[in-house]
Amino acid sequence: MEVTTEIKQQLEETFAGILDADFMEELVKYATIQRFKSEEELIGYGEPMKFMPLLLDGSLKVFRESSDGRELLLYYVESGDTCAMTIQCCFGKALSNVRVIAEEDGAMIMLPIQQMEQWIAKYPSWRQFILSSYSMRMTELFDTIDSLAFKQLDQRLWEYLTDKVKIHGELVLNISHEKIAEELNSSRVVISRLLKDFEHQGKVKLMRNKIEVKEF
C-alpha cells in the first residue's frame, strides 16, 4: 500500500506529460522502487537484465568495456529517461554488455521485462516512449562516436566537464584527475596537463579533488 502510492506520486511527478494515466495504473501493479547511492553499481557486464528501469531522480552513467579491459563512458541517463540498452536486451533476450554506475544518489522504478511485449502492444504512450528514447539514445551515441573518432582529447575533456556540470547543476565538480582519465580512457598525466592548460586559459579553476568550470 505505502509503496504503491509512493511509486504513483513519483511517477506522476517525473513522467506526467510522457505516459498516460491508464498505463500508469497498470504499471504500478508490477513496479517496484529502488533507491541507489552515488557510485553504486547497478548492473555489471554479463549480468542478466530482469528489470527495465525508469529513472525518477539522480543520474546514471553507462560504461562499455573495451577489448583491452579498459572502460569508456558511453552516456548518462537522467531523470525521466530509461536505459536504452535494456530495451535492446529485452528484445534480444541478451545479457548486459554494459556496466551501469550511479553518478548521483537517486531512485528508479523497476519494471519486470516479462510485461514489456504486452505493454508495447497495448499502450500507445508506452510504445511511443520506448521508441523515442531509443532514438534519442542513438543520436547521443553518434555524438560520442564522432567525439571518439574525430575529436582531440582536449575537446573531449571539455565536453566531459561541461556535460557533468549540466548533469549536476553545479559549477564545481568533485572528482580527481585519475577518475576522469578512467572515464575517458586516457591517463592521469595527460588529463592533468590538459586541465592545467584550461586553467591557464581561465576556463577552469583547479583544486584538490575539485574542478570549478568557469565558462561553458
- Measure the CA angle with vertex 136, ends 130 and 141; round to 5°: 125
- Residue placing its CB nearer to DNA in the complex, 120 or 195: 195
- Measure the CA angle with vertex 204, ends 167 and 211; round to 5°: 55
Nearest distance, CB of residue 103 and DNA, angstroms: 17
- The secondary structure of residue 20, as a DSSP letter, is -
Choosing from 72, 165, 206, 212, the residue that interacts with DNA (CB under 7 A) is 206
Amino acid, res. 109: I
Residues 174-193 that bind DNA (CB under 7 A): 176-178, 187-190, 192-193
Binding segment toward DNA, per CB under 7 A, in 120-128, 135-143, 157-165, 172-180: 172-180
Kindly state whether residue 195 participates in binding DNA, applying the rule CB under 7 A. yes
Choosing from 141, 196, 201, 215, the residue that interacts with DNA (CB under 7 A) is 196
- The secondary structure of residue 113, as a DSSP letter, is G
- Residue placing its CB nearer to DNA in the complex, 102 or 204: 204
Q: Which of these, 123, 150, 158, lies nearest to 24 by C-alpha position?
A: 123
Kindly state whether residue 125 participates in binding DNA, applying the rule CB under 7 A. no
Sign of CA dihedral 117, 121, 123, 124: positive
Q: Which residues bind DNA (CB under 7 A)?
A: 176-178, 187-190, 192-193, 195-196, 199, 206-209
